[in-house]
Each structure stands twice: as structure tokens, then as C-alpha cells.
A = this chain, B = another copy of it.
Amino acid sequence: MIRIVILGTGNVAKHLLGAFKKAKDVEVVQVYGRKNSVLESLGSDYQTTTEVSSLKQADIYILAISDDAISEVSKQLDLKAGLVVHTSGSVPLAALSKKTKRGVFYPLQTFSLDRKVDFAEIPICIESENEADTGILKQLASAISKKVEYMDSDQRKALHLAAVMANNFTNHMYYLSSEFCSQNNVPFSLLHPLIQETAKKIEDLSPYDAQTGPGRRNDRGTLKKQKAQLKSKRHKKIYSLLSKSIRKTYGKKL
């Protein structure tokens, strides 16, 4: 049985709590949060505290808090034993205080409070400073996910930025598309099946091979016409830059 304490009450903390609740051989012995009102909203399943000084003994302390707070909170912890980990993609392991054993437990997913996610499919990237700690983190991650990956802080930072491109920027493409739809009185929902298929395709094909469209074909006539169709300067600028980037990817002269 791995005994854990969760520090935090936000999106990531709540999703982790939900996942650990169903996991075998893991016991959440306490949840720390700054506000009692928020802690109470978690239900009566957990022992809670608002005092860092009142933390119970556990094997692993999971800091599921904002990036900026990680370093500071880790310094405040006064623990005799236990491994302290954070859950951030972009913060290095070294940001944690040296007073305790330290590591990283980063679930690579976008979490919204009101959406269920299948934790078994979410990759968990772990990092630690010795084999014993890696062992227990692997065990904890495997209790909730099928995909556990060891990586160092630099790799994780790169993965986090790759996630910004694949998630934040992709979602912004959806937004620009929806904006253009409403400007032209067509329902954006018609594009939902296309969007799902575009995402599914890359599980079988590399994004390089999956690319289609006028940029890939270097169809200058269509590229010119489509740019002219766009009304806003912002849309035109993005259309040009991304079309150029696609053409360049496939070795076309610009």
C-alpha cells in the first residue's frame, strides 16, 4: 500500500483524487488546501488540513499546485520522511527544496473540471533522483495509468511545449475556423466529424503523411483565392504563414 498526501484542490488535484480513489494499493491519507470551504467541497472521503505543519506521514506528497507556488510550498514542508513530487510539465525537478527527497509526477493531459477523462490512457511522466524513488513513482503511476514514461527535466520541458502546439494552438485553429464560420453564416458544428477524423488519423499515420490541402499540393491558385476570401487581417496573416510553413515542409520553393 502506497500512502499519499495531495497538496492542492484545483483541476489536476481533483482528477488525481478521482483516479487514486479507484486505484488498488494506494491510500490518500490527507488532502491539503488553503481554504476549508474548498476542501469541504471534496466530500467527506478525505481527511483534510489547511496547515502545512499538520501534514500526516506518507510515502509520497504530491504538489498539485500552480507552477509559481511549487518552489515556495516545497520549502515550507517540514517532513521527516517521504518523497515530494510536483505535477508540472514546465517546472524542473530542481525547483523543489533539497530538504526532502524529490521527484516529478506529470500527467500529460488537459483537464477541465466538468469533463471526465480516462486516466488509464493518460501518459504519466516521472522523474526522480535515485532508483528507489523511481521504483515507487513507477508503482504509483502504474496504479492509475497504462503509460508510464521516465524523462528528465529538459525532455519534460520540451514535451510540455510540444503539448502547447498540439493542444493550445490546435484549439486556436478550431476557434479561427468557428469565427470564420459565423462570419459566413454556416454552422461550425458541421466541422465536428472532420475535426475528430483529423485527430484520429494521426494514430495510424504520422502528421507528415496525413497532411492534405492546397498547401501540401502547392496549389497556388487556391491559396491565393482562399487568402482573398478571408476578411480579417489576422486571419490573412495566419493563413499565409501556415500555408508557407506547410509548403516549406514538403520542400516547395516559396
Chain A residues near B (Cβ < 8 Å):
90, 108-110, 112, 115, 117, 121-123, 125, 147, 149, 151, 154-155, 157-159, 161-178, 180-181, 183-188, 190-208, 210-216, 222, 225-226, 229-230, 234, 237-239, 241-242, 245-246, 248-249
Contacts and interface: CB of A to CB of B under 8 A. Distances in A.
B213 A167 contact: yes
A205 B110 CA distance: 13
Contacts of A225: 90
A212 B170 contact: no
Contacts of A239: 165
Identical copies in the complex: 2
B171 A249 contact: no
A76 B168 CA distance: 48
Given A125-B190, A167-B198, 14 more contacts: A108-B194, A155-B185, A158-B181, A162-B177, A166-B173, A166-B194, A168-B213, A169-B238, A170-B170, A171-B201, A171-B211, A172-B215, A172-B242, A195-B202
Counting chain B CB atoms within 10 Å of each CB, which of A121, A161, A216, A245 scores highest?
Answer: A161
A51 to B, nearest CB: 29
A191 B166 contact: yes
B171 A204 contact: no
A202 B174 contact: yes
B110 A197 contact: yes
Contacts of A169: 173, 176, 238, 242
A186 B213 CA distance: 28
Nearest to A235: B165
Contacts of A187: 149
A230 to B, nearest CB: 7
B175 A208 contact: yes
A248 B187 CA distance: 23
